[in-house]
Amino acid sequence: MSRRKQSGPPTAKGNQGDGVGYGRPPREHQFKPGQSGNKGGRPKGSKNEATIINEILNRKIDIRDKGRLRKISVLEGIFTKFADDALKGKDKAAALLLNRKQQVESIEQPATPLLDTDDRKVLESYAEQLYQQFKKQGKSE
């Protein structure tokens, strides 16, 4: 079996020296500066998926709660429904609600300081020494 000759990308006939070929169109067919291949582009004001989801979940809806009409967000309504289902004994609803609560609490917890008190004292002492050195240099000049 003969080995195939490996060659570069295919080139247009007669334009061997022009660098024209696969992925390299002739100069007259290349995009001009300031011109793109997507002439229409993304329309101004178009919304991405996250924006659409946030708008839907934050939209206010009317619900009847204990005989009174209330306005709540769609997100609050969803969580209320999960809570009601969990109280009725639906394990999946309870698990989802409790897992979500843990996730939110872990995000809201204040970050632990990067330095403990001993490290902070060492750095403050070093900063004071540097300050004193700069102070001495300023007086000697």
Task: Answer yes or no: is 53 within a domain.
Answer: yes
**C-alpha span between 23 and 31 (Å, rounded):** 13
Task: Answer yes or no: is 15 within a domain.
Answer: no
Please report which confidence band the pLDDT of residue 141 belongs to, taking 50, 70 and 90 as the band edges: low
**C-alpha span between 67 and 65 (Å, rounded):** 5
Task: Answer yes or no: is 62 within a domain.
Answer: yes
Q: Please, which residues have CB within 8 angstroms of residue 103's CB and are 6 or more apart in sequence?
A: none
Give the domain extent around 62. 49-108
Residue-level pLDDT at 133: 84
Task: Answer yes or no: is 69 within a domain.
Answer: yes
How many folded domains does the chain comprise?
A: 1
Task: Answer yes or no: is 1 within a domain.
Answer: no
At which residue do the structure tokens 């067919």 appear?
29
Residue-level pLDDT at 12: 47
Question: Do the Cβ atoms of 80 and 97 come closer than 8 Å?
Answer: no
Task: Answer yes or no: is 78 within a domain.
Answer: yes
Task: Answer yes or no: is 116 within a domain.
Answer: no
User: Given a cut of 80, is residue 7 above it in pLDDT?
Assistant: no
User: Given a cut of 90, is residue 55 above it in pLDDT?
Assistant: yes
User: Given a cut of 80, is residue 104 above it in pLDDT?
Assistant: yes
Taking only the tens place, the pLDDT of each residue in 57-70 is 999 999 998 899 99
Task: Answer yes or no: is 90 within a domain.
Answer: yes
Q: Where are the alpha helices (DSSP H) in 28-90?
A: 49-58, 74-87
Terminal-to-terminal C-alpha distance of the chain: 86
